[in-house]
């Protein structure tokens, strides 16, 4: 029996994608091979990576002056690659400055890594209220190398309601937990990056979308595997790319296109999130800790209204356990913040959200 999986990542994939991958497991496209067995440079794999890139370009409306790279190392490696390639400069050159907005764990990690290569400036932070909102973002200094934001904050469940104005300074965004969930104007960004394991496919592939003028500025000492210019020149084939992951991403993108693309997906995501937030507003037992204008469509944390710490912990434990028994799994909140969290990425059907709400109502009544 399939469960409804509310994991923040790796996350549920669309069932038709899994079924197709299963059907093609031992013989993909009549080649007599699994995609896992294909040489990445073969005539069999080439159309797979080309199709995946073309679909991503089409669905996201990626302009022609941007490169799409399929890399490894997760979003976390981008925390290092981006400052190395965009800000580090040659040895002896003055340190460049990067602006960051601190909206939680991932934003902070990105800034910490960047501080090894550049001067960082935390322009705003929402730490004062437990990261339950997105702060106003001050304008960058025009000399900044770039301005970094985390568009959707997976752990605390916030999302930027509008993009900050950064003038001539390139906006760089971590879109790991919201890629393809809503339309995004790629031309507003210098660079976008996402680990695949939430809205795109299995863990192991990282998608980087980079404006061409930002390529080619890595210092000479940068390891080859960490250079955008090399990956771009080699069409993501400087070394063996994560072939199977790229293939699954292609299937996910085909599925998304078949549903009507990102605009239709955004409507579905809005409907799912509204259902759940509206239920939380009415609930006597659970509530959202996030301030209304900043609530994520993808990751919805919820906490008991109970304030006694011991009773609260007991209730959380019981809830997560009983939900799992009912086939609603991975609802525990992140270990750093506790509580519960429902991650409802693109692949979560509305029936899953309805089943969760139904279970929560029953749980309330049984208390
Ligand atoms: C917004 C965001 N950025 C970065 C990461 C880290 O990604 P990875 O594990 O692919 O390095 C995550 C992981 O959940 C995330 O949600």
Instruction: Examine residue 339 and say whether the peptide bond preceding it is cis (omega within 30 degrees of 0).
Output: no
Cβ contact 243:112 at 8 Å: no
Residue 114, phi then psi, degrees to nearest 5: -65, -30
| Structure tokens given for 77 | 């490696």
Which ranges of the chain does DSSP label H, i.e. alpha helix?
15-23, 46-60, 74-86, 105-114, 228-233, 243-259, 262-282, 309-325, 350-366
**Per-residue pLDDT, 231:** 98
Predicted structure pTM score: 0.98
Residue with the nearest Cα to atom 7 of ligand 1? 75
Catalytic site includes residue 46: no
Residue 90 has a pLDDT of: 84
The low-confidence residues of the chain, meaning pLDDT below 70, are none
Q: For residue 54, what pLDDT is reported?
A: 98
pLDDT of residue 141: 87
* Residue 329, strand partner residues: 5
> Are 180 and 346 spatial neighbours (Cβ–Cβ below 8 Å)?
yes
Alpha-carbon distance values, 37 to 23, 42, 93, 138, 244 (Å): 15, 11, 46, 50, 9
Residue 198 annotated among the catalytic residues of the structure: yes
Residue 195, ligand 1, Cβ within 6 A? yes
> Rounded to a whole number, what is the distance in angstroms from the first to the last CA of the chain?
28
pLDDT at residue 94, as a whole number:
84
How far, in Å, CA of 237 to CA of 229, rounded?
12
Ligand 1 within 6 A of CB of 76 = yes
Residue 82 and residue 148 in contact, taking contact as beta carbons nearer than 8 Å: yes
Expressed in angstroms and rounded, the spacing between residue 281 Cα and the centre of ligand 1 is 29
Distance CA 127, CA 189 (A): 25
Which residue lies with its CA nearest to atom 16 of ligand 1?
154
Residue 248 sits at the vertex; the CA angle it makes with 245 and 250, to the nearest 5 degrees, is 110
* Residues 124/135, Cβ–Cβ less than 8 Å: yes
Single out the catalytic residue among 67, 102, 144, 198: 198
Ligand 1 mean position, distance from CA 31 (Å): 35
Question: d(Cα 221, Cα 349) in Å, to the nearest integer?
Answer: 47
Is residue 361 annotated as part of the catalytic site, yes or no?
no
DSSP state of 298: S
Q: What pLDDT is stored for residue 1 in this prediction?
A: 87
Distance between CA atoms of residues 305 and 173, nearest Å? 34
């Amino acid at each position: 029996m399939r469960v409804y999986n509310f994991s923040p990542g790796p996350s549920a994939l669309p069932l038709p994608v899994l079924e197709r991958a299963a059907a093609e497991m031992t013989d993909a496209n009549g080649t007599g091979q699994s995609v896992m067995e294909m040489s990445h440079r073969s005539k069999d794999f080439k159309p797979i990576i080309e199709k995946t890139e073309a679909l991503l370009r089409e669905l996201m409306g990626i302009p022609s002056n941007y490169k799409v790279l399929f890399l490894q190392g997760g979003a976390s490696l981008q925390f290092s690659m981006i400052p190395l390639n965009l800000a580090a400069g040659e040895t002896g050159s003055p340190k460049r400055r990067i602006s960051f907005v601190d909206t939680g764990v991932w934003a902070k990690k990105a800034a910490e890594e960047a501080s090894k290569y550049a001067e960082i400036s935390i322009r705003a932070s929402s730490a004062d209220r437990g990261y339950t909102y997105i702060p106003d973002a001050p304008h960058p200094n025009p000399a900044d190398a770039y301005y970094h934001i985390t568009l959707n904050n997976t752990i605390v469940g916030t999302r930027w309601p509008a993009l900050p104005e950064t003038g001539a300074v390139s906006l760089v965004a971590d879109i790991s937990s919201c890629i393809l969930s809503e339309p995004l104007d790629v031309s507003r960004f210098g660079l976008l990056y996402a680990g695949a394991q939430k809205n795109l496919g299995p863990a192991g592939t990282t998608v980087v979308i980079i404006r061409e003028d930002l390529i080619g500025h890595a210092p000479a000492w940068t390891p080859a595997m960490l250079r955008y210019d090399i990956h771009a020149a080699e069409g993501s084939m400087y070394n063996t790319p994560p072939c199977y992951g790229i293939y699954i991403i292609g299937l996910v993108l085909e599925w998304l296109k078949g549903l009507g693309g990102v605009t239709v997906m955004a409507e579905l995501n809005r409907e799912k999130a509204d259902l759940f937030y509206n239920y939380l507003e009415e609930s006597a037992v659970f509530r959202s800790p996030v301030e209304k204008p900043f609530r994520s469509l993808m990751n919805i944390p919820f906490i008991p209204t109970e304030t006694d710490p011991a009773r609260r912990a007991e209730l959380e434990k019981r809830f997560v356990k009983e939900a799992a028994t009912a086939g609603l799994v991975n609802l525990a909140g992140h270990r750093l913040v506790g509580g519960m969290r429902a991650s409802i990425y693109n692949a979560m059907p509305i029936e899953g959200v309805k089943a969760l709400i139904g279970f929560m109502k029953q749980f309330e009544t049984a208390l």
